[in-house]
């Protein structure tokens, strides 16, 4: 029995340290909500035990003993007085927190605009302190311990922005702007996922949030402001030329070369991201090649066509070029 209990704890615990879990709060809101959660879990557990106990008592105790439960007073006490008292307390507790969750009175250190698109995330670090805005995709970098203001929008259907380790979710609704303030309390990489069903690839619309110490964040952001690195190796140069020649620039932007499409994700620093396909695959030359050649097979219904016009070397060249865009 002890083995079994320990086993089930093991079963649950790995997720508690998960990178996409409300049970492992790493942000101000998530911590607050986790605290609320434990209060209601324990409270509900006690109430459930009480109801179950009373039912068993009514069922099993001799009628003479349990007759007090067969009365109107019992129903009024258990069905009206008790819930009114506990629910009022819970409501007051809940409302006292509702105001602060998702908002901040502090001046945000960074403002980031996140736009949900079928089925990826467009990210723009707003201009700040006279420095230009930066476009990116499917990955958010934030400073630890500082309030970050996210402006959430949608370009097509309803999505929902959710990073369980950091905060609760907020919908992205066409024609509407929602603002969510988040604050990470520990450096690390967290995963988020679209939480409102948005079409065929809703399941594959994830992203990463990387929380850096503030100075590291500023450094990171400064690097992202730079245009794409100039290729050195022959294969990489060939990849860049093919990227332009094949017409990738119609949809994608790579700052510094002739590619300024706005339909798909900005690829200026794509090589530095943790994933491709919005959290679907790890990011390396191999998976990039797979994505270019068979994106409709890997993620049917996304907007990028599968490119099957490249030779083996050409495909490898383009993939290697993209991987080099750190």
Partner 1 sequence: MTAWPAIVTLPVLLGLGGCGEADTPIAQRVVGGDGTAGRAVVMRVGCGACHEIPGILGAHGIVGPSLRHFARRSMIGGVVANQPGMLVRWVREAPALAPDTAMPSMPITENEARDVAAYLYTLR
Partner 2 sequence: MRPAVYPPKELPNVSPRPAGELEALERIWRAPRGIHFLTVVNNNYIGVFYIATALLFFILAGILAMIMRTQLAVPNNNLISPSLYNQLFTMHGTIMMFLFAVPAVEAASVYLLPNMQAARDLPFPRLSAFAFWAYLIGGTVFFCSLFVGLAPDGGWFMYPPLTSFKFSPADNADFWLLGIGFIEISAIAGAIEIIVGVLRTRAPGQGLDKLPVYSWAMLVFAGMIIFAFPAIIIATYLLELERAFQWPFFISEQGGNPLLWQHLFWFFGHPEVYIIFLPAAGMVSMILPAMVQAPLVGYRLVVLAVVGTGFLSFGLWVHHMFATGIPRLSLSFFSAASMAVAIPSGIQVFAWIATIASGKLRLHTPALFILGFLFIFTLGGLTGVMVALVPFDFQVHDTYFVVAHFHYVLIGGMVFPLFAAFYYWIPTASKRPLSERLGRWVFWLMFLGVNVTFFPMHITGLMGMPRRVYTYPEFLNWGSLNLISTVGAYMVAAGVLIFLIDLVRNFRFTSTDDAGNVWNSGTLEWLPAGTYQTRSMPYVTSREPLWDQKGLAEDVEAGRWYLPGAQTGGREALVTSPIEARPQYILQIPGPGWPHVLGAVFTAAFFLLLTVKLVIPALVCGVLAVVFVLLWMWDTDPEPKPDVEIGGGLTLPTYMSGPSSHSWWAMVVLMLVAGTSFACLVFSYLFLWTTRPEQFPPPGITVPELGWPAICALMYVASAGLVVIAGRQLRTVPRSGVGSWRLQLLLLSGAPLLVCAGLVDLYSQWGAGLRPAASSYGATVYAVMAFQIFFIATVTIMALFTLAKSLVGRINGIRRATFDNTMLFWLYTAGQGIVGLALTHLFPRLIGAGP
Residues 283-312 that bind partner 2 (CB under 8 A): 300-301
Count CB atoms within 10 A of the CB of residue 91. 11
H/E stretch holding 180 reads strand 178-182
Stretch that binds partner 1, among 3-11, 15-23, 111-119, 181-189 (CB under 8 A): 3-11
Q: Which of residues 213-272 bind partner 1 (CB under 8 A)?
A: none
Question: For residue 3, with 0-12 CB atoms within 10 Å meaning exposed, 13-18 middle and 19 or more buried, which class applies?
Answer: exposed
Q: Do 293 and 307 form a contact (C-beta atoms < 8 A)?
A: yes
Q: Does residue 3 interact with partner 1 by CB under 8 A?
A: yes
* Partner in contact with 301, chosen from partner 1, partner 2, none, beta carbon below 5 to 8 Å by kind: partner 2
Residues counted in the chain? 326
Whole-number minimum distance, CB 70 to partner 2, in Å? 4
Shortest spacing between CB 163 and partner 1, in angstroms: 22
CB of 273 to partner 2, least distance (A): 16
Looking at the chain, the number of H-run helices and the number of E-run strands are 9, 12
Cis ω on the peptide bond leading into residue 119 (within 30° of 0)?
yes
Q: Please choose which of partner 1, partner 2, none residue 189 contacts, taking the beta carbon within 5 to 8 angstroms, the exact cut-off set by kind.
A: none
Query: Is residue 1 part of the contact set for partner 1 (CB under 8 A)?
Result: no
Q: Which of residues 265-304 bind partner 1 (CB under 8 A)?
A: 281-282, 284-287, 289-291, 293-294, 297-298
Instruction: Check if the beta carbon of residue 221 is closer than 8 Å to that of residue 125.
Output: yes
CB of 5 to partner 1, least distance (A): 9
CB 318 within 8 A of CB 292: yes
Structure tokens at 149: 């203001």
Q: State yes or no: residue 200 binds partner 2 (CB under 8 A).
A: yes
- Which one of 1-9, 77-85, 176-184, 209-217 is the stretch in contact with partner 1 (CB under 8 A)? 1-9
Element (H, E) at 120: strand 120-125
**Distance in Å, CB of 119 to partner 1, minimum:** 17
By CB under 8 A, tell whether 151 contacts partner 2: no
Cβ-proximal residues to 9 (8 Å cutoff; 6+ apart), any chain: none
Query: If 0-12 CB within 10 Å is exposed, 13-18 middle and 19+ buried, where does residue 268 land?
Result: buried
Using CB under 8 A as the binding rule, the residues of this chain from 303 to 322 that contact partner 1 are 311-313, 315-316, 319-320
The SS3 of residue 162 is: coil
User: Quick one: which segment of 19-27, 108-116, 213-221, 225-233 binds partner 2 (CB under 8 A)?
Assistant: 19-27
Residue numbers of the site for partner 1 (CB under 8 A)?
Answer: 3-4, 6-8, 10-11, 281-282, 284-287, 289-291, 293-294, 297-298, 311-313, 315-316, 319-320, 323
């Amino acid at each position: 029995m002890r083995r079994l209990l320990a086993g089930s704890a093991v079963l649950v615990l790995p997720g508690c340290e998960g990178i996409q879990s409300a049970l492992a709060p790493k942000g101000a809101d998530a911590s607050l909500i986790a605290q609320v959660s434990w209060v209601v879990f324990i409270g509900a557990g006690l109430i459930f035990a009480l109801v179950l106990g009373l039912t068993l008592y009514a069922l099993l105790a001799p009628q003479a003993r349990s007759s007090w439960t067969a009365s109107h007073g019992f129903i009024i006490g258990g069905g009206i007085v008790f819930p009114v008292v506990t629910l009022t307390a819970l409501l007051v507790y809940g409302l006292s927190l509702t105001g602060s969750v998702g908002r901040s009175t502090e001046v945000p250190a960074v403002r980031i605009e996140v736009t949900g698109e079928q089925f990826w995330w467009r990210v723009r670090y707003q201009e700040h302190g006279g420095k230009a805005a930066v476009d990116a995709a499917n990955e958010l970098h934030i400073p630890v311990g500082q309030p970050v203001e996210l402006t959430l929008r949608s370009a097509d259907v309803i999505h929902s922005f959710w990073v369980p380790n950091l905060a609760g979710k907020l919908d992205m609704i066409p024609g509407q702007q929602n603002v969510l303030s988040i604050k990470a309390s520990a450096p690390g990489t967290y995963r988020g996922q679209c939480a409102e069903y948005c079409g065929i690839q809703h399941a594959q619309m994830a992203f990463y949030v990387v929380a850096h110490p503030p100075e590291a964040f500023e450094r990171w952001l400064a690097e992202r402001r730079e245009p794409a690195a100039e290729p050195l190796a022959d294969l990489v140069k060939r990849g860049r030329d093919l990227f332009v020649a094949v017409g990738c620039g119609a949809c994608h932007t790579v700052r510094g070369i002739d590619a300024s499409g706005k339909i798909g994700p900005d690829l200026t620093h794509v090589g530095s991201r943790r994933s491709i396909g919005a959290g679907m695959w790890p990011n390396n030359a191999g998976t990039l090649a797979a994505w270019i050649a068979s994106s409709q097979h890997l993620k049917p219904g996304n907007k990028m066509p599968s490119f099957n016009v490249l030779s083996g070397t050409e495909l490898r060249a383009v993939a290697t070029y993209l991987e080099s865009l750190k």
